[in-house]
Each structure stands twice: as C-alpha cells, then as structure tokens.
C-alpha cells in the first residue's frame, strides 16, 4: 500500500498489477540513465516489476538488546531465468523499532555487492513507527528518525553497520555492480542492532526487481491494518475483549495464501498466561496467534510482537517483544467463545493453503482468568500470496518514455466501498466513513462502517 511518488518520467513508472499499485525505479546512476533515457540507439528497452517476498518475520536483535537479527540473513531467491536487473525496490512490512538509530540494514545481491537499505546517523531516541517502508534509488525523500511509514531513498551508505561486512556499505558502488547483471540467485538482507536497550521487528519483506521480461508469477505481501485499540478484557477482569472480534477485510482477488504473519502492536497484559488470541480466515479456518498456557502472574512486556507461520521459535513466558512462531494450539477457547474446542494451527494452515485471502479476517481475544488486564494497540495481517503477472509494460526509447494508457481506476484499487478518481500519476481514493489509508484499507471505526 505504498503511496505514489512523483519523479522524472525517464526515472519512475507505475503499473497496475491485479488491483494494486506497484512501484519501481530506473537507477539514477549516470550509466543507467544514459542507457535507458539519453542514449542515441534506436532500439528500446522494456522492463517489468518482478517481486519475491519473505514472510518469515525478523527479530531485531536475535537475543538480548543488541547484535545480529534473527534470521541473519533473511533470504529471498530469484530463479535462474530472472534476467538482468534494471531497477531495485525493497519494502519492509510491519517494521518497528524503539530506537531508529540502533538499526542498520544492508542488502547483498547474488554477485556479492551491497546496497544500504536503512541507516540513520542521527543519534536520537525516536522510534521507527510501526508500518510499511519502501526504499528505492530514486525517491528524493530522506528518512529521518520518527518519520512516518512511506517511500524513501536508499541511504548513501550504512556508516555504522558492523554485521556481515566490516567496511561501510556504499550504495552507489553497490548499485553500479548490481545493475545490468543477473538477478538470479540469493538476495540476503542483513539486519543489525548496534546499540543496547531497544528492540524491534520486521513482519516480512519484499524485493522488486525491474527485469527485461515479464515473469509468469510473483509472490507478494499484501497487508491490512486495524488501528482500533482492543481492551483485554472488554470489561471487568476476565472474558471477551472489546471489540470482539476485531476485523480486517481484504479485497476481491487478493490471491492464494502461501503464508502469513500477524503483527501485534503495543501489546501488553499484566498476566501473559491469561491471554489467548486466535485468527479466523474468511473460509472459517482458525489459527492460534497467542496462547502461553499455564498459570502465572508474570506480565507480558509492552511492545510489538510478530507471530509468523514460518518461524519455529515459540513465545515463552517472560520473553521480550520480538518475532515468534504462531503457537501450535489455543487450548482454552475457539472463536465465538466456546471453551471446549482446541484450535490447532497446523490444521488451519493446511486448510488455508492455496485458498484465496479475500474477505473478512476476524481476531478474537479473550482474558481467561480474573484480576488482570491488558490491551492491544493495533494489529496488522500480512499475507504472502501468489499472483499471475499481468501488467502494462514500460518502454523507454531515446526520444521518450511511455506506458500503456489503462486508467488506474479500471483495476478497482480502492477498498471498502471507496470512490476512485483517475489522476495523471495514478489514482485517488475517497474513503467511506470509518476507513483511511492510500487505498482506504485501514478500518478505523467498525461502528461507522
């Protein structure tokens, strides 16, 4: 759900892919720009966005409060027929950290070259605000600590990166090595926390390459966010949360679900063993999101928790906020309030495989014991889906850059009953009451909707 950014015509193009706006860029290096925009040859160069994604959430750091993240690195693999790279975009979903200065992120291409993805030299205490961040070589916006989720340029260097490589990462040098070389192979994301006392997560990430030939399919991450606070319980000191359930809605043709992560923001409770949370899909499959079991007065530390279908490390009582596996079971209740039914996550995931993610997803939270309480500030559902690549190509010639003239609103990108207006550089959504966001994807007031 990244917003569009306005850039020179030879540098930036946008395409509508299955109802979503995808962004890609032509690198700004002199060599790349001359070859694609200012050359004298009569031949043209056509490129297409090719996306692969990793839904396994990342804990920053792996343990303690400084050092390497987990996994380290996080890897995305492009197949042998990917082609040469003409553009690079990195999107981080559900990215949060309590001290932006601590975090340094570098991307290593299959050939070994590095690009700096995230690094700030400002020593301030501002958070990385929870949300989706896209980094490109062509945005003119520089990220500063405390900045809102959005589209930003790659930092020129990772000056304090001390993880995989012992020398500072220089982005322009890395791009010059990556562009016009094959994109096939493993792309590795190295995330490092270089200072103590703070924690963070990345719910999942995508890498989009501009390539000469359209890929048959892409794996992409689609997200929906609910920012209405959940009280656990809704009243008293035990029972259902409020709201119950809390919901997000994915539009038609979302795609076949391959995996998922649930990001729980500002999640806290004075007794972690009291809380049980499960997620119900549009098709009725149930997944356990949080359930410790047992009985203890140990509290749940306030922070962001990423619960992923592809991680293996379980949350244990007393753990700090971070990235964990979805629990194997919720033993104390099923969606709708029955205390007798056990939810088995593996069965739910198996039933979900290859089913379309479109529709309403419900999050049910309950406090199962007396005397304690807590809350969930927001939650975001990340779905890894497979999509057939059907988009207009972008052709660059010596004289001009053109795209096919399909109106943006034709693909119905606005969600939840919003109105769509075509614009020169994309579309604008007029949201119905109770919704916000670029595509009206954020449900801010269920009662108003």
Query: What is the DSSP code string of 278-291?
Result: EEE-TTS-EEEEEE
| % of the chain surpassing 70 pLDDT | 77
pLDDT in tens, 287-341: 999 999 888 889 999 999 999 999 999 999 999 999 999 999 887 654 444 454 6
* pLDDT in the model for residue 389: 62
pLDDT in tens, 349-370: 998 887 899 999 999 999 988 8
Question: Does 262 or 435 have the greater pLDDT score?
Answer: 262
* pLDDT in the model for residue 382: 98
Q: Measure Cα distances from 142 to 82, 111, 281 in Å.
A: 30, 27, 38
- Rounded average pLDDT over 167-188: 90
- Weakest-pLDDT range from 98-112, 121-135, 303-317, 405-419: 405-419
Q: pTM of the entire structure?
A: 0.78
Question: Does 168 or 262 have the greater pLDDT score?
Answer: 262
Q: Identify any residues that bridge with 23 across adjacent strands, giving them in sequence order.
A: 14
Residue 168 pLDDT exceeds 80: no
Decide if 189 contacts 117 (C-beta within 8 A): yes
CA distance 155 to 141: 10
- DSSP type of residue 318: T
């Amino acid at each position: 759900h990244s917003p569009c950014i306005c850039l020179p015509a030879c540098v930036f193009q946008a395409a509508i892919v299955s109802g979503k706006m995808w962004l890609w860029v032509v690198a700004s290096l002199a060599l790349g720009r001359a070859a694609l925009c200012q050359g004298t040859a009569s031949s043209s160069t056509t490129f297409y966005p090719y996306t692969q994604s990793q839904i396994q959430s990342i804990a920053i750091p792996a343990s303690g409060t400084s050092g390497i993240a987990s996994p380290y690195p996080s890897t995305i693999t492009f197949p042998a027929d990917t082609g040469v790279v003409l553009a690079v975009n990195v999107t981080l979903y559900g990215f949060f950290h309590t001290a932006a200065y601590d975090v340094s992120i570098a991307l290593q291409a299959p050939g070994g070259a590095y690009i700096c993805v995230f690094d700030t030299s400002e020593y301030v205490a501002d958070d990385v605000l929870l949300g989706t961040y896209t980094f490109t070589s062509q945005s003119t916006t520089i990220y500063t600590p405390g900045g809102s989720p959005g589209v930003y340029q790659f930092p020129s260097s990772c000056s304090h990166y001390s993880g995989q490589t012992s020398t500072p990462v220089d982005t322009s040098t890395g791009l010059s090595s990556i562009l016009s070389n094959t994109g096939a192979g493993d792309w590795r994301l190295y995330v490092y926390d270089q200072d103590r006392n703070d924690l963070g997560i990345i719910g999942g990430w995508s890498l989009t390459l501009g390539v000469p030939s359209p890929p048959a399919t892409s794996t992409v991450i689609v997200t929906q966010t609910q920012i209405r606070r959940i009280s656990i319980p809704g009243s008293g000191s035990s029972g259902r949360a409020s709201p119950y359930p809390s919901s997000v809605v994915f539009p038609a043709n979302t795609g076949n679900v391959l995996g998922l992560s649930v990001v729980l923001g500002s999640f806290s409770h004075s007794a972690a063993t009291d809380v049980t949370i499960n997620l119900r899909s549009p098709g009725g499959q149930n997944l356990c999101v949080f359930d410790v079991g047992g009985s203890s007065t140990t509290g749940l530390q306030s922070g962001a928790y990423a619960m992923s279908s592809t991680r293996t490390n379980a949350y244990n009582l007393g753990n700090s906020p971070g990235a964990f596996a979805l629990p194997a079971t919720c033993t104390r209740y099923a969606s709708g309030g029955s205390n007798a039914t056990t939810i088995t996550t593996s069965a739910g995931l198996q039933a979900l495989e290859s089913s379309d993610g479109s529709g309403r997803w419900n999050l049910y939270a309950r406090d199962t014991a007396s005397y304690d309480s807590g809350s969930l500030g927001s939650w975001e559902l990340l779905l890894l889906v497979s999509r057939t690549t059907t988009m207009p190509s972008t052709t660059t010639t010596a004289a001009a850059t053109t795209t096919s003239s399909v109106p943006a609103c034709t693909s119905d990108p606005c969600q939840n009953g919003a109105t769509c207006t075509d614009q020169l550089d994309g579309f604008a959504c007029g949201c119905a009451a109770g919704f916000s966001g670029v595509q009206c994807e954020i449900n801010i007031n269920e009662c108003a909707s």
